């Protein structure tokens, strides 16, 4: 197939190679995730950014020889917001928030979906799908609708209507599945193979490729002056792997001279990667009885968990877990600086606060928190905050304001 460059997929554990002209997602020997070979040469296409998609601007870092612009919904190119107020409050000099709520379906998942769907369409697939608890489901449903592809969305059976409707509105084949969520991930690949459906699940190779653009944009937004830490709320482990790979590839290409330390931030109510890290284990095991307000990062069996442990090890980053109380506090702080993220998206700020208190992060260091999705996706969190308003008659208004 001549629509893709000559690169391979490679097993993240045993390095076995696989061709990229197939929908291959995991190694048939060790069952670990596959990824695209590291890019060693590339530059940024600095054309008109208003007339570019992320896949075009960073085309050298994707394996596509031609790009189907019609698949895009205008994902990426999100803001990087500095907050002096929060930085002062927690005692650090520079703190930034990568505001992924600005994406077409209000989460960073859109970056991975666009890369996955480019690949699926190149391979000739007419049907796509995903397994998700929320944000990835709406993302894949939206891009499936844009591309006019039949789209299967498998969600777990107890999903709240508040989450179901924002997926259903795009009109996919939306199926609530009763069964183990971890098994559903592998089962979907099997169903995909049997029925010619390309499942753009949480950590498939092209989704990781799309997530690299978060790192690329941060580099450009900070004039290539790399921060000390990138803090990523982590569930399946796709986003954090993509961001780390992005920095690594920019360094390979001489665009930056160092890579930041990557911090894997989890909710203590569902922290399988943090638990394995703390126990110095190289294997993540299922987290029993998970319970956290940060639903979006509540995967008890992260499919990229082992790879995240390997990556944190070579990157010299760390793992941290924060309680629901700390998450809600951070959500409020974040909102009071003008950014409304959902509980999962406040986890990085709670993590920075904690690591600063422990003096792991030093006062003069710089950190970027990834605000992965909007607070409007989970309005039930409102009742955890002490939200106030006042009332009066119009004739008393000027008195009250004085
Ligand atoms: C999916 C998601 C995450 C976690 O990303 P993974 O790739 O599964 O680790 C974090 N925050 C939000 C809001 C998400 O939707
Ligand atoms: Zn392998």
What b/e string do you get for 10-41 counting C-beta neighbours within 10 Å, with b at 16 or more? Answer: bbbbeeeebebeebbbbbeeeebbbbbeebee
Centroid of ligand 2 to alpha carbon of 228 (angstroms): 32
pLDDT greater than 90 at residue 160: no
Task: Give, in order, the Cα–Cα distances in Å from 238 to each of 33, 136, 157, 243, 303.
Answer: 10, 12, 23, 9, 9
Confidence of residue 258 (pLDDT cuts 50, 70, 90): very high
Phi, psi angles (nearest 5°) of residue 366: -120, 135
At residue 293, the pLDDT reads 95
Q: Is the CB of 344 under 6 A from ligand 1?
A: yes
Closest ligand, as measured to the CA of 294: 1
Model confidence over 295-349: pLDDT tens digits? 999 999 999 999 999 999 999 999 999 999 999 999 999 999 999 999 999 999 9
User: Which pLDDT belongs to residue 3?
Assistant: 87
Closest residue by Cα to atom 2, ligand 1, is 296
Residues facing residue 98 across a β-bridge = 80, 370
With a 6 Å cutoff on the Cβ, whether 260 touches ligand 1 is: no
The proportion of the chain whose per-residue pLDDT surpasses 90, expressed as a percent, equals: 95
Separation between Cα atoms, residue 227 and residue 255, nearest integer Å:
14
> What is the structure's pLDDT at 37?
97
Per-residue pLDDT, averaged over 351-375, amounts to: 98
R_g of the chain computed on alpha carbons: 21
Specify the pLDDT at position 57.
Answer: 98
Q: How far away, in angstroms, is 386 Cα from ligand 2 center? A: 50
User: Which of helix, strand or coil describes residue 351?
Assistant: helix
What's the pLDDT score for residue 58? 98
235 close to ligand 1 (CB < 6 Angstrom): yes
pLDDT of residue 94 exceeding 60: yes
- How many angstroms from the chain centroid is the CA of residue 122? 24
H-only helix segments in 159-285:
161-168, 181-195, 205-221, 238-252, 272-278
Q: Does pLDDT of 1 surpass 60?
A: no
Helix (H, G, I), strand (E, B) or coil at 319: strand
Tell me the pLDDT of the chain averaged across its residues.
96
Query: Using CA atoms, how far apart are residues 171 and 269, in angstroms rounded to an integer?
Result: 33
Q: Does residue 163 carry a pLDDT above 90?
A: no
The atom number, within ligand 1, closest to the CA of 242 reads 7
User: pLDDT per residue over 29-77, tens digit each?
Assistant: 999 999 999 999 999 999 999 999 999 999 999 999 999 999 999 999 9
Sheet with 8-11, strands from edge to edge, namely: 17-19, 8-11, 34-36
What was the pLDDT predicted at 159? 83
Interval between CA 51 and ligand 1 midpoint (Å): 28
Q: Return the pLDDT at 161.
A: 81
């Amino acid at each position: 197939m001549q629509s893709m460059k000559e690169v391979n997929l490679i097993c993240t554990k045993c390095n076995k190679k696989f061709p990229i002209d197939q929908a291959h997602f995991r190694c048939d020997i060790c069952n670990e995730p596959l990824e695209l070979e590291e890019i060693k040469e590339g530059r940024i296409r600095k054309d008109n950014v208003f007339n570019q998609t992320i896949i075009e601007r960073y085309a050298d870092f994707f394996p596509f020889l031609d790009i189907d612009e019609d698949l895009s919904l205008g994902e990426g190119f999100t803001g990087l917001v500095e907050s002096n107020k929060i930085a002062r409050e927690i005692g650090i000099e520079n703190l930034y928030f990568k505001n992924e709520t600005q994406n077409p379906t209000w989460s960073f998942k859109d970056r991975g979906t666009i890369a996955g769907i480019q690949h699926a369409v190149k391979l000739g697939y007419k049907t796509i799908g995903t397994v998700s608890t929320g944000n990835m489901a709406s993302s894949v449903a939206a891009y499936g609708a844009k591309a006019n592809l039949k789209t299967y969305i498998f969600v777990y059976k107890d999903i709240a209507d508040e989450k179901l409707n924002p997926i259903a509105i795009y009109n996919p084949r939306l199926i609530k599945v009763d069964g183990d969520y971890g098994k559903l991930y592998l089962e979907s690949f099997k169903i995909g193979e049997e029925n010619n459906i390309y499942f753009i699940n949480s950590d498939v190779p092209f989704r990781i490729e799309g997530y690299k653009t978060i790192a690329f944009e941060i580099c450009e937004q900070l004039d290539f002056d790399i921060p000390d830490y990138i803090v990523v709320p982590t569930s399946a482990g796709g986003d954090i792997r993509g961001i780390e790979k992005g920095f690594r590839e920019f360094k390979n290409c001489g665009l930056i001279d160092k890579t930041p330390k990557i911090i894997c931030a989890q909710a203590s109510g569902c922290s399988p990667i943090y638990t394995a890290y703390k126990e110095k284990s190289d294997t993540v095991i299922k987290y029993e009885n998970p319970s956290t307000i940060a639903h979006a990062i509540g995967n008890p069996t992260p499919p990229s968990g082992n790879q995240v442990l390997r990556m944190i090890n070579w990157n010299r980053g760390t793992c941290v877990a924060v309680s629901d109380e700390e998450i809600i506090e951070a959500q409020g702080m974040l909102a009071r600086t003008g950014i409304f993220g959902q509980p999962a998206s406040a986890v990085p700020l709670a993590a920075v606060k904690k690591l600063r208190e422990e003096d792991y992060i030093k006062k003069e260091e710089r950190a970027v928190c990834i605000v992965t999705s909007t607070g409007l996706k989970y309005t039930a969190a409102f009742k955890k905050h002490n939200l106030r308003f006042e009332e009066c008659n119009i004739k008393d208004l000027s008195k009250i304001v004085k």
